Amino acid sequence: MNLPEEIKQLLLRLLRELCTNSVRSRLAWERKESFLTLFFISAGRFPELASGPYQHLIGDWIMQQLPFTLTPQEQELLWT
């Protein structure tokens, strides 16, 4: 994924936080409902990712990594 270094670092921090929150809350990120909860908890701490020009690129990459699909409505909820 072609992102500026600053955005890559923020994305890595977001992914680490998702993992940490998954362990702490004992939620399995590979289950859709748990992932949505974990992402909602974590993403709010990274407004630069949510409001920046790379939001859709990052969202598309995340969707490719998940073992399930999200509806367009669920995808929009990720960044709200």
Q: Look at the chain and count its residues.
A: 80
Identify whether 61 is part of a domain: yes
Residue 78 domain flag: no
In a domain? residue 45: yes
Q: Mean pLDDT of residues grouped by 10 in the chain (80 residues)?
A: 90 91 83 89 87 86 90 85
Does a structural domain hold residue 39?
yes
**Domain count of the chain?**
1
Does a structural domain hold residue 59?
yes
Residues sharing a CB contact under 8 Å with residue 75, sequence separation 6 or more, in sequence order: 59, 63
**Residues 6-26 pLDDT 10s:** 999 999 999 999 888 888 888
Is the overall model pTM greater than 0.85, yes or no? no
Q: What is the pLDDT of residue 48?
A: 87
